[in-house]
Structure 1
Amino acid sequence: MAWFEQRHQFCGAELRLAHITDSHLFGSRDGCYFEVNTAAHFSRVLNALAEEQLDGVVFGGDLTQDHSAASYALFAELVAQSALQCPLFWVPGNHDDLTLLAQISEGQISAAKYLQCEQGDIVLLNSKGPTPAGWCEAAHLRELQQQLSEGAHSVLAFCHHHPLPIDGYLDKHMLENGPQLLNTLVNSQRVEALIHGHVHNAYAQSFRALPVYATPATSIQFAKHTRDWQQHNTGPAYRLIHWTAQGLHTEVKWLAN
């Protein structure tokens, strides 16, 4: 099946999305990632999102930390038990298994990768490579370019890995062909922004005038601007995206630790 074959249509004159990422769940609700109970943090975020009157949520990858099938089942269980009512979509992270993601993609959790609304189109990309670093396969980039060439509406793009260096430890695991992806997006003259996860903190950058935003993790955050891998429990966070006829607005919201 082609990556963008499954689609979802939003209704309404405005679109309210949330982007959440890097939950790093374990097979047990008691699992801790650097002393943070990731299931508890994830549940707090889901409860906060339920109050935001959202049309959809995009999960940005790295669902699992222990790579167990039980961690995927826990993700689906936490979503189902939350008050969140809107559909949840996903892109894969370097920790994730596409087969296990597909297995939980039913009902509220959707495998759709091409989302459409009155304001434009949303593409959910696959940056998962053979190593912790990201890589967009040539066939995937060709399919993306084809999709971008066929429409005229504005586009919002999501992926897991960061395509631009952040001057930090995780640059060793960034999207290795990031410039190729970014040029594909910019050259289409349709893309409004690219939003990603992976870096466990908030960033705002640009590439040839294309805004590139990073969303903090629901689990634990990584210190910025250091080559050392430093973790800080500053609380979970999520990104809100409000898309109207006047344009695209986005902001990060933090939950108190």
Structure 2
Amino acid sequence: MAWFDQYAIFNSGQLRLAHITDCHLFADPQEEYFGVNTAEHFSRVLAHMAEQSLDAVIFGGDLTQDHSMASYRLFAQLIADSALTCQVFWVPGNHDELAALQHISSGQISNAKRLIANDFEVLLINSKGPTPAGWVSEAHLNEITTLLVSTSLPSVVFCHHNPLPINGYLDKHMLENGPQLLNILQNSGQVRHLFHGHVHNDYQFQFRNIDVVATPASSVQFTKNTAQWQQQNLGAGYRLLTITKSSDAVTVDSELIWLNE
């Protein structure tokens, strides 16, 4: 099955989405990641999102820290136990395995990679490469190009890895062919917004006409603008997005949410 074959249709001219990423769960829900109980942080974000009248949630990757199947089952269980009622869509992170993500994708957790509204689309891209750094395969770049050619709808894009440098430690694990992807999106004339995770903090950059925006992690954040690996427990973060079609473009209103302890 091709990456974009599965899709979800929303009979609306506006979508209210939440972007949550990098929960880094363990098999044991009491396990900590740099001093943070990641399952507790994730549950707190789920509870907060449940109060936001959302159409969907986009999970931005790095579900697991210990790479256990039990951590994927915990992710699904925490969602099932929460008050969240909308569907949850996902992109894979460098820590994740596609087969494990697909295994838990049923019911509320969806494997669809296109969210089709009345006047625009949301596209979920696979940036997982053979190393912790990101890589969009040539075949997948061709899929993205073909899809953008085949539809006249403007699109908002999500992936896991940062396609541009952040002047930090994780630049060594950024999306290595990020400029190639961004040029494809730019040249299509249909994409003005790309959201990603991976970098564990809030960043905003511009690539030609595309806004490139990072969402903080639900687990821990990494200190900005340092070549050293430094963690900060700033509380869980996620992003609220309201996507609307206006004239011939898409407007994205973004609100960063911090759940400080």
- TM tier relative to shorter chain: over 0.9
Q: Contact 2:123 / 2:155 at 8 angstroms: preserved in 1? A: yes
Write the letter of the residue equivalent to 1:217: A
Write the letter of the residue equivalent to 1:10: F
Distance in 2 of aligned mates of 1:165 and 1:80:
36
Distance in 2 of aligned mates of 1:156 and 1:177:
19
Determine the structure 1 residue equivalent to 2:176.
176
Deviations 1:137-190 (Å, cap 9, x if unpaired)? 000000000000011111000000000000000000000000000001000000
What residue ranges of structure 2 are gaps of 5+ in the alignment? Answer: none
Determine the structure 2 residue equivalent to 1:147.
147
Write the letter of the residue equivalent to 2:96: D
- Provide the TM-score with structure 1 as the length reference: 0.99
Write the letter of the residue equivalent to 1:204: Q
Determine the structure 1 residue equivalent to 2:221.
221
- Provide the TM-score with structure 2 as the length reference: 0.97
Q: Contact 2:192 / 2:209 at 8 angstroms: preserved in 1? A: no
Q: Contact 1:120 / 1:154 at 8 angstroms: preserved in 2? A: yes
Distance in 2 of aligned mates of 1:15 and 1:115:
10
Determine the structure 2 residue equivalent to 1:24.
24
Write the letter of the residue equivalent to 2:49: L
Distance in 2 of aligned mates of 1:251 and 1:141:
30
Query: Aligned to 1:245, what secondary structure does the other structure show?
Result: strand
What pairs up with 1:154-193 in 2 under 5 angstroms? 154-193=154-193
Distance in 2 of aligned mates of 1:13 and 1:190:
17
C-alpha deviation, 1:74, in angstroms = 0.1
Query: Aligned to 1:206, what secondary structure does the other structure show?
Result: strand
What pairs up with 1:86-235 in 2 under 5 angstroms? 86-235=86-235
Query: Aligned to 1:183, what secondary structure does the other structure show?
Result: helix
Distance in 2 of aligned mates of 1:250 and 1:94:
25
What residue ranges of structure 1 are gaps of 5+ in the alignment? Answer: none
Q: Contact 2:24 / 2:62 at 8 angstroms: preserved in 1? A: yes
C-alpha deviation, 1:18, in angstroms = 0.5
Write the letter of the residue equivalent to 1:49: M
Distance in 1 of aligned mates of 2:197 and 2:65:
15
Determine the structure 2 residue equivalent to 1:9.
9
C-alpha deviation, 1:11, in angstroms = 2.2
Deviations 1:25-61 (Å, cap 9, x if unpaired)? 0001101000100000000000000000000000000
Query: Aligned to 2:252, what secondary structure does the other structure show?
Result: strand
Distance in 1 of aligned mates of 2:45 and 2:167:
28
Query: Aligned to 2:16, what secondary structure does the other structure show?
Result: strand
C-alpha deviation, 1:244, in angstroms = 2.1
My pick for the range that moved more, 5-14 or 183-192, is 5-14
Query: Aligned to 2:226, what secondary structure does the other structure show?
Result: coil
RMSD between aligned residues: 0.7
Q: Contact 2:20 / 2:217 at 8 angstroms: preserved in 1? A: yes
**Count of aligned pairs between the two proteins:** 257
C-alpha deviation, 1:218, in angstroms = 0.3
Write the letter of the residue equivalent to 1:211: D
Distance in 2 of aligned mates of 1:48 and 1:180:
36
Distance in 2 of aligned mates of 1:174 and 1:13:
33
Q: Contact 1:136 / 1:177 at 8 angstroms: preserved in 2? A: yes
C-alpha deviation, 1:216, in angstroms = 0.1
Distance in 2 of aligned mates of 1:127 and 1:13:
28
Distance in 1 of aligned mates of 2:245 and 2:174:
33
Deviations 1:66-117 (Å, cap 9, x if unpaired)? 0000000000000000000000000000000100000000000000001100
Q: Contact 1:119 / 1:243 at 8 angstroms: preserved in 2? A: no
Distance in 1 of aligned mates of 2:126 and 2:243:
23
Determine the structure 2 residue equivalent to 1:54.
54
Q: Contact 2:221 / 2:233 at 8 angstroms: preserved in 1? A: yes
Determine the structure 1 residue equivalent to 2:258.
254
Q: Contact 1:23 / 1:63 at 8 angstroms: preserved in 2? A: yes
Distance in 2 of aligned mates of 1:125 and 1:195:
10
C-alpha deviation, 1:15, in angstroms = 0.9
